[in-house]
Amino acid sequence: MFQFEWLWALALLPLPLLLRMLLPAANTEEAALRVPSVQDFEVAHTHRSAIRAGKWTLWLASVAWILFVVAAARPQWLGDTIELPVSGRDLMLAVDLSGSMEINDFVIKDRTVDRLTATKYVAGDFIDRRVGDRLGLVLFGRQAYLQTPLTFDRETVKTLLYEAVIGLAGKETAIGDAIGLAVKRLREVNNQEVSNRADASHDSKNNSSQDKAYDNNKLNDKILILLTDGANTAGEVEPVKAAQLAAQLGLKIYTIGIGADEMMVRSFFGMRKVNPSTDLDEDTLKKIAEATGGKYFRARDTQELEQIYQLLDELEPVTKETQNFRPTSALFIWPLGLALALAAILVLKRLAR
């Protein structure tokens, strides 16, 4: 559908005529002359040519003015209506990059891979499915840092996850700091949204009750998925205390303990069976999940990890509502460009005189 965004701008079309009527007219009276020779009438012929040229100039100027006004009215083309799913959920992913994540005890398509590679493989598909959620990414080892703030750009989140490498944040594991960083970031976002809501409804009689309801709704829609293969061995914040702080905010935490229960390794006496997940602190991960109303999951292989992320899709459904969107294409550049071209011709013609 074609429309003008600023239709009122078309009211400027008769402005040159109004100026011509209101401003004093130029003196066009001519005195009669006696000429001694017929050759002097060539001057009159030249004068008539100038009049015709002036008419063309007037027409070009009129067309240029019309095009300028049409461009000012912002013509645009509206495409077909598109439904956008919007969940209103803020979902943070916290991924362990400690040294133990390089243990090769996972298999993807008959190929043995390390734990981080398996995490990227499964979490990438999970990110693709979270249409309508705002996603953020926290990476942690000895230290925790925010790799991606909350965004609807799932491709950026997935790309930055794929670019993460083991040991980037140190070889140890700071689970408590990772939770604390996620809590801090989500609290900042929540406070900003509440502030914007309060500003928008400042004049409303039910302002305080609306803000309170808005607070509660937003807090219930904040999720943290924490994936680790070890125990808290670094950082300043104790994981359970960080979880209690998260619970006060309303942040729900799902924890995933990753790592196989057994694998064969080569030793001096030949092949022997070992448990590569002896460092995994399942009790703490369970307490973290229970304190926030979440759940703890155990992923011993790639298939179990995929099932966990599919279960998370069921526990936290993506779409709550839809918003309609109509893509808009601006067309003002065409009449504006043609108007500028005509104006350039008029200027050049003026200079040529």
Say yes or no to pLDDT of 32 above 60. no
For 335, the token pair is 């009449």
In angstroms, rounded to a whole number, what is the distance separating the alpha carbons of residues 270 and 264? Answer: 10
Three-state SS at 52: helix
pLDDT digit string, tens, across residues 5-31 = 888 989 989 888 888 788 776 554 544
**Would you state the pLDDT for residue 209?**
42
Band of pLDDT at residue 216, cut at 50, 70 and 90: very low
pLDDT surpassing 70 at residue 320: no
Output 351 or 43, whichever has higher pLDDT.
351
Sign of CA dihedral 168, 173, 175, 176: negative
Alpha-carbon span 265 to 281, nearest angstrom: 23
The whole-angstrom separation of Cα 122 and Cα 131 is 16
pLDDT value for 176? 95
pLDDT above 50 for 210: no
Q: Give domain limits for the chain.
A: 2-24+34-79+326-352, 84-324
Rounded to the nearest integer, the mean pLDDT of the chain is: 81
Element (H, E) at 113: strand 111-113
| DSSP annotation string for 276-333 | TTTT--HHHHHHHHHHHT--EEEESSHHHHHHHHHHHHHHS-S-SEEEEE--EEE-TH
Judged against a pLDDT cut of 60, whether residue 163 lies above it is answered with yes
CA distances in angstroms from 110 to 106, 257, 275, listed in the order given? 10, 22, 21
Residue corresponding to tokens 């007037």: 58
Helices 41-72 and 333-352, packing angle to 10 deg: 160
Q: What is the pLDDT of residues 272-305, one digit of tens each?
A: 677 777 888 999 999 999 999 999 999 988 999 9
CA–CA separation, 216 vs 124, rounded Å?
30
Average pLDDT for 99-119: 90
What is the pTM assigned to this prediction?
A: 0.62
DSSP string, 155-171: HHHHHHHHT--TTTT-S
Q: Kindly tell me if the per-residue pLDDT of 61 is higher than 90.
A: no
pLDDT of residue 205: 46
Select 84-324's CATH number: 3.30.530.20, 3.40.50.410, 1.10.1660.10, 1.20.1600.10: 3.40.50.410
Q: What does the pLDDT average to over 219-236?
A: 86
Whether 93 shows a pLDDT value over 90: the answer reads yes
CB atoms near residue 108 (< 10 Å): 14
